[in-house]
């Protein structure tokens, strides 16, 4: 799986899986790694620097822009 595909899958999973979304809010890098998403250094830094507070809708927009929009 390419890094692009992994990040798109991570964003999709975040937006559609409430349990995963809660794990990402608490430990985004660890949650992604535990689920087998291959992260490069740039993606790990993006996860660390993202503001994980706010509503699910706001977070969905942030994740979509950060990971899906990056590859379009």
Tens digits of residue pLDDT in 25-40: 999 999 999 999 888 8
Q: Where do the domains of the chain lie? A: 3-71
**pTM score > 0.85 for this model?**
no
Q: If you average pLDDT over residues 17-22, what whole number do you get? A: 93
Question: Which residue bears the tokens 């990971």?
Answer: 67
**3-state SS of the chain?**
CCHHHHHHHHHHHHHHCHHHHHHHHHCHHHHHHHCCCCCCHHHHHHHHHCCCCCCHHHHHHHHHHHHHHHHC
Q: Report residue 51's pLDDT band, with 50, 70 and 90 as the boundaries.
A: confident
Distance CA 62, CA 69 (A): 10
pLDDT at position 71: 45
């Amino acid at each position: 799986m390419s890094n692009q595909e992994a990040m798109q899958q991570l964003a999709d999973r975040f937006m559609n899986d409430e349990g995963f979304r809660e794990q990402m809010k608490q430990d985004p890098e660890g949650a992604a790694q535990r689920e087998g998403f291959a992260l490069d250094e740039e993606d790990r830094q993006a996860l660390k620097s993202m503001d994980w507070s706010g509503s699910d809708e706001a977070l969905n927009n942030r994740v979509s822009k950060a990971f899906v929009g990056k590859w379009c």
